[in-house]
Chains A and B, each alone.
Chain A
Amino acid sequence: MGRAAYFRKRLLLMAFVLFGVTVVIFSMVRILPGDPAFLILGDRATDEKAAELREQLGLNRPALEQYWMFVSGFARGDMGQSLLYRQPVGDLVLRRVPVSLALAAYAMGLAAVITLTFGILAAINKGRWPDQLIRVGFLFALTTPNFWFGILLILLLGLTLHWFPVAGFGETPAQHVWYLFLPALTLALQLSAVLIRNLRGQIILTMRSDYVRTAHAKGLSGSLVLLRHVLRNALLSTLTIFGLQFGFLVGGAIVVETVFALPGTGQLLIQSITARDYPVVQAITVISAVLVIVVNLVVDLSYSFLDPRVTYE
Chain B
Amino acid sequence: MSEKALSARPLADVVPLSQIGRATRLRKIRLAPTLVTGLVLLGLIIVAAIAAPLLTPYDPIEQRFTEAFLPPFSPGHILGTDNFGRDIWSRIVFSTRLDLQIGLLSVSFPFVFGSLIGIATGYLGGRLDTVLMRIVDVLMAFPFLILVIAIMSILGPGLTNLYIAVGVVGWIPYARITRGETLATRHLEYVLAARTIGCSSARIMLRHILPNVIAPALIYVFTGMVLAILTGATLSFLGLGPQPPTPEWGAMIAEGRQYLLLAWWMTTLPGLALLVVGVALSLIGDGLAERRGG
Contacts and interface: CB of A to CB of B under 8 A. Distances in A.
Q: Do A and B bind each other?
A: yes
A289 B282 contact: no
B143 A143 contact: no
Contacts of A251: 143-146
B260 A154 contact: yes
Nearest to A249: B143
A254 B149 contact: yes
Nearest to A144: B275
Nearest to B272: A148
Name, among B138, B146, B155, B282, the residue most crowded by chain A CB atoms within 10 Å (CB to CB): B146
Contact of A247 (B135, B143, B274): B143
Name, among B137, B141, B226, B233, the residue most crowded by chain A CB atoms within 10 Å (CB to CB): B141
A144 B272 CA distance: 8
Contacts of B253: 145, 147-148, 151
Interface of B: 134-135, 137-147, 149-155, 226, 230, 233-234, 237-240, 250, 253, 257, 260-261, 264, 267-268, 270-271, 274-275, 278-279, 281-283, 286
23 contacts: A17-B138, A21-B138, A28-B151, A144-B278, A145-B233, A146-B234, A147-B253, A148-B275, A151-B257, A151-B271, A152-B268, A155-B261, A247-B141, A251-B145, A254-B145, A255-B237, A272-B153, A273-B240, A285-B146, A288-B143, A289-B143, A289-B146, A292-B141
B146 A288 contact: yes
Contacts of A142: 278, 282
Given A143-B275, A159-B260, A255-B234, A16 B146 contact: no
A46 B79 CA distance: 50
A121 interface: no
Contacts of B155: 32
Given A145-B234, A152-B271, A270-B238, 20 more contacts: A21-B141, A24-B142, A142-B282, A143-B282, A148-B253, A148-B271, A148-B275, A149-B271, A151-B260, A155-B261, A251-B144, A255-B237, A273-B149, A273-B153, A276-B153, A281-B150, A282-B150, A285-B146, A288-B142, A289-B143
A189 interface: no
A296 B234 CA distance: 25
B154 A247 contact: no
Contacts of B149: 254, 269-270, 273
A85 interface: no
A39 B149 CA distance: 16
Contacts of B257: 151
A163 interface: no
Q: How large is the interface on A (under 10, 10 to 19, 20 to 34, 35 or more residues)?
A: 35 or more
A268 interface: no
Contacts of B281: 143
A282 B278 CA distance: 32
A145 B252 CA distance: 13
Nearest to A39: B154
B238 A258 contact: yes
A255 to B, nearest CB: 6
B267 A148 contact: yes
Contacts of A274: 239
B203 to A, nearest CB: 32
Nearest to A156: B264
Nearest to A274: B239
A189 B144 CA distance: 19
B150 A248 contact: no
B150 A28 contact: yes
Nearest to B276: A143
Contact of B274 (A148, A159, A272): A148
